[in-house]
Amino acid sequence: MKHIPETMPEQDFIQYREAAHLSGKTRYIPDMELYRGTLNGFAVSSPHAKARLLNLDVSLARTSPGVEAVLTAQDIPGPNTMAPVIDDEPCLLPVGGTCGYLGQVVCIIAADTMENAKKASSLIEWQWEILDPVLSVEESLEKKDFLFDPLRLKRGNPERVMKNAPYRKKGSLDAGGQEHYYFETQAAYAVPLHQGGLLIRSSTQNPTDNQRFAASLLGLKASDVEVQVGCLGGGFGGKQAQATWPVAWSALLACKTKKPVLFILERDQDFRLTGKRHPFKVNWEVGFDHQGHILALEISMAYDCGWCNDVSIAVLHHCIFHLDGAYYIPHMDALLYGCRTNKPSNTAFRGFGVPQAISVIESVITQIAHTLGKDPAIVRWKNYYGIRKNNLTPCNMLVEHNILRAAHRQIVNKSDYFGLRKKINAFNKKHDSVKQGLAMVPGKFGISFNESFFNQAGALINIYRDGSVLIHHPGTEMGQGLHDKMRTVVHRELGVSTEFIRVADTSTSIIPNTTSTAASTGTDFSGSALKDACDKLKKRLNPIALKMMGLEKGKVIWENNLVFCKESGKSVPFKELAFHSYMTLESLSEKGFYKRENIGFNLESMTGRPYWYYVMGSSVAHVELNLLTGRFRILDMWILHDCGVPVDEGIDLGQIHGAFMQGLGWCTMEKLITNKNGRLETDSLDNYKIPGIYELPEHFHIEFFRGNPEPHNIHNTRAIGEPPLIYALSVWLALQDARGTTLPIPATGEELIKPLYHEE
């Protein structure tokens, strides 16, 4: 463990606070100073993808040197469950139960060292009845083995319209999953408190769910468990639901041993145990006219959800509401299946079902264009949502602040799309083994949790007598710059320089009932709650400030560390206002709250308002592909993205870069391989390729779409974390354009060098 002093000079503290990531001083759970006597936790998991546990004997493991506890399902005081949505996920597999995947945890060990914990695990004796696993969605579909009832969204009369359409085209697509590969693996540190209960430090996006399940498993009240979250070493959705696992296991072991327990998954174990982005297989049929207008669309989509639900039903809801993409589809029938397979339960991943949806509709658009001999950009233009008409989605939500055509025009001009198309055609005529390709992908991404009760946030602001400010908000910082954005929001509202504003670690004891930092809502929710707290503080302190200026009334403005009245020209320093308010017995602490109402949809009709607003933009990719080696280069990448009025342009640019690169990995290189026994073969960077510096576009052009503020949101900004990931699909389509054939996801080098045609 790395030991960092509890106190540090003020200059170093400011650097730590301001640039910890860049200076390498951010403290993750493996960097924490540990209490004396801390034990190491280890998870013992099933060696089979599907098998019934007939017998389990841990007696020898319990007497192994250094071991202080070995816990099984029967040792759990409360309900043996940690399922976030549907109750189908036990914390530990009980005797008589059937494991759902190779890696499901059967028991947990606490020992003085990790080495001793692993040695003890080899002494566990068990007996299994091995069963045949289901490892594909095809088999799941054949057996009709679904985790929940299929989802259906239907608009109009697609059967009749399809039958009478001038043109019809069928297609299919196979897409794989994706490993989150956060650089801090799943981790938690549970410490028993002398007054009872637990303090848990967790690497999680969802502190309240961690608290909820730790308390439930132990038979405690939620108030008996405090979950604290510092900076996460990445999350990407993988720490939304599944970060509960190390929290639950460390809490159980800490309560049993009465000692602190550190539980960190090793990288290969994290790979094998945790869920991924959902793979899928889809078949579709589209009816369209001679100009390329979509008249009807039918989609049948099978998602590989893994062995239990996790958050899959929410992922499929998000997907089905985005199958329209950026396009108005008058008649549509979409049917989505949540298939059970004997693999890890697939989970939240940046985009949460939207990248899968966009890949389908953009494939449809591309195939329409090829059928008609038109450029796909022209077909996209024909089908975009309109401003005054053709502006209702299949779920009957109004598409507001629509910039799709404006963004299309801008990016066509910025990339010289049609001029570039001519140059590419000329290049391809001259070259046999090296081809270039071009593709455009627009974006329309809904922001909010579909479940209405998640759309809330609390916050707390403390002003101290010296004029410094401490803010508590419900969001977690995982490298996306949320803490910095929250300091900026409070700086704008109170007029205090950011060097006087500190963001506290997230704690369920300070901000209760937090919603997961997910769905790209962190800035929206936390910022709005903090603004509410600032508004309440200013309302209470404005009369005091006026009195200090010798005024009875006037419009008070908070800027530049001053509180001043513009009409009179008088002002009082913020620092003096804080001290005077304290001396006159005025509270300098205030809580804030934010809620989004009227979000939700009817589960039967799949209609309603699932989102607060849409984020839009467009992208163009220009690639060069060597048909003999399968290697490609991104020659140019253009992204035009609408952030409304960005809270921090630098952070938002970083998020666009990062989201695109992560999407590029999913689309072109990150391939998960599971063998016939259900074991994940790609469980390290030795055999699983993620994007690196050499995959960066040679020319990367990113711009913000200007002049379209979001009136429904804090400071007129729009969410940024997830939406730009879908722009990577333009690279995937550009590779198809270069190759002249359709491609699966990921379009790996192996796929790209397959023969372009097969002999009959």
The two most distant CA atoms of the chain are separated, in Å, by 94
Domain termination site, one of 544, 573, 595: 595
Same domain, 547 and 607: no
Same domain, 491 and 583: yes
Q: Is residue 139 part of a domain?
A: no
- pLDDT value of residue 25: 83
Across the beta sheet with 98-99, the strand order is 98-99, 51-57, 125-130
Same domain, 547 and 520: yes
- pLDDT value of residue 23: 77
Q: Is residue 124 part of a domain?
A: yes
Same domain, 117 and 261: yes
Query: Scanning the structure block, which residue is given the tokens 């990445």?
Result: 234
Q: Is residue 408 part of a domain?
A: yes
Do strands 67-71 and 294-306 pair parallel, antiparallel, or not at all (unpaired)?
unpaired
Query: Scanning the structure block, which residue is given the tokens 């666009």?
Result: 656
Domain termination site, one of 562, 579, 595: 595
Same domain, 608 and 692: yes
Residue pair 87/148 in contact (Cβ under 8 Å)? The answer is no
Return phi, psi of residue 85, to 5°. -125, -65
Same domain, 591 and 717: no
Distance in angstroms (rounded) separating the CA atoms of residues 605 and 465: 56
Report how far apart, in Å, the C-alpha atoms of 431 and of each of 350, 423, 759 are.
38, 13, 23
Return the axis-axis angle of helices 376-383 and 404-415, rounded to nearest 10°.
160
Domain termination site, one of 579, 595, 611: 595
Q: Is residue 17 part of a domain?
A: no
Element housing 675 (H / E) = none
- pLDDT value of residue 656: 98
Same domain, 495 and 437: no
Distance in angstroms (rounded) separating the CA atoms of residues 21 and 4: 15
Structural domain span for residue 693 = 280-450+603-752
Same domain, 214 and 110: yes
Number of structural domains in the chain: 3
Q: Is residue 757 part of a domain?
A: no
Same domain, 496 and 425: no
Whole-prediction pTM: 0.95
Q: Which residues of 437-454 are buried (b: 16+ CB within 10 A; e: fewer)?
A: bbbbbbbbbbbbbbebeb
Do strands 700-704 and 632-641 pair parallel, antiparallel, or not at all (unpaired)?
parallel
Residue pair 668/731 in contact (Cβ under 8 Å)? The answer is yes
Same domain, 72 and 198: yes
400 token code pair: 């507001």
Same domain, 48 and 190: yes
Q: Is residue 22 part of a domain?
A: no
Report how far apart, in Å, the C-alpha atoms of 448 and of each of 207, 358, 601, 612, 721 are.
19, 18, 12, 6, 12
Distance in angstroms (rounded) separating the CA atoms of residues 20 and 519: 25
- pLDDT value of residue 755: 79
Same domain, 408 and 486: no
Query: Scanning the structure block, which residue is given the tokens 């399902």?
Result: 73
Q: Is residue 14 part of a domain?
A: no
Mean pLDDT split into 10-residue runs, the chain, 760 residues:
34 46 85 96 98 98 98 98 94 98 98 98 98 98 97 98 98 98 97 96 98 98 98 97 98 98 97 98 98 98 98 98 98 98 98 98 98 98 98 98 98 98 98 97 96 95 98 97 97 98 98 97 98 98 97 95 95 98 98 96 94 98 97 98 97 98 98 97 96 97 98 97 98 98 97 70
For residue 265, how many other CB atoms are within 10 A of its CB? 21
Kindly give, in sequence order, each residue whose CB lies less than 8 Å from that of residue 425, ignoring residues fewer than 6 positions away. Answer: none
Q: Is residue 571 part of a domain?
A: yes
Q: Which residues are catalytic?
A: 722
Do strands 39-45 and 261-264 pair parallel, antiparallel, or not at all (unpaired)?
parallel
The CATH number linked to 39 is 3.30.365.10
291 token code pair: 């100009």
- Percent of the chain past pLDDT 70, that is, above it, reads 97
Closest by CA position to 23, among listed 10, 32, 33, 13: 13
Distance in angstroms (rounded) separating the CA atoms of residues 68 and 120: 11
Distance in angstroms (rounded) separating the CA atoms of residues 317 and 157: 22
